[in-house]
């Protein structure tokens, strides 16, 4: 019988995420579809989300791995200007419906891990 418990998957070194800095991208399978996700650091804590705006299912970043607005306070969709709270993913302004899909993270011993869920699995390359 398969184990339905979450798995922790190493994502990056803790130092790769800086407050308001570049994101670390990674690929996941969410609800059976391959998606891009990203991890950021905000107020000292790492957070991760699917890279999918809730207004229109498009990637958010305006430059590769750049999600924060100029103030460093909000995650912003470059296409329509929707803004999201970096710590919760909830809509903070602009054309968005609800919030970003959060990916659970943990951080220990200098490494950030992301966690699988019933609908969130690692992307595996086929050889």
pLDDT tens digits, one per residue of 66-121: 999 989 999 999 888 899 999 999 999 988 888 999 999 999 999 999 999 999 99
Which structural domains are found in the chain, ordered by start? 8-120 (2.102.10.10)
Mean pLDDT computed over 24-29: 96
Confidence of residue 127 (pLDDT cuts 50, 70, 90): very low
Is residue 1 predicted with pLDDT exceeding 60? no
pTM above 0.85, yes or no: yes
How many Cβ atoms from other residues are within 10 Å of residue 36's Cβ?
Answer: 16
Is 8:117 a contact under the CB 8 Å cutoff?
Answer: no
Mean pLDDT computed over 4-8: 74
């Amino acid at each position: 019988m398969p184990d339905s418990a979450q798995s922790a998957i190493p994502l990056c070194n803790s130092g790769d995420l800086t407050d308001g800095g570049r994101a670390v991208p990674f690929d996941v399978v969410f609800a059976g579809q391959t998606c891009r996700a990203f991890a950021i650091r905000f107020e000292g804590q790492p957070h991760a989300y699917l890279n999918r705006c809730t207004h229109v299912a498009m990637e958010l970043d305006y430059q590769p791995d750049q999600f924060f607005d100029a103030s460093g306070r909000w995650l912003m969709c470059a296409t329509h200007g929707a803004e999201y709270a970096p710590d919760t993913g909830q809509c903070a302004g602009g054309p968005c419906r609800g919030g970003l899909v959060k990916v659970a993270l943990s951080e220990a011993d200098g490494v950030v891990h992301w966690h699988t869920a019933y609908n969130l699995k690692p992307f595996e390359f086929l050889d």
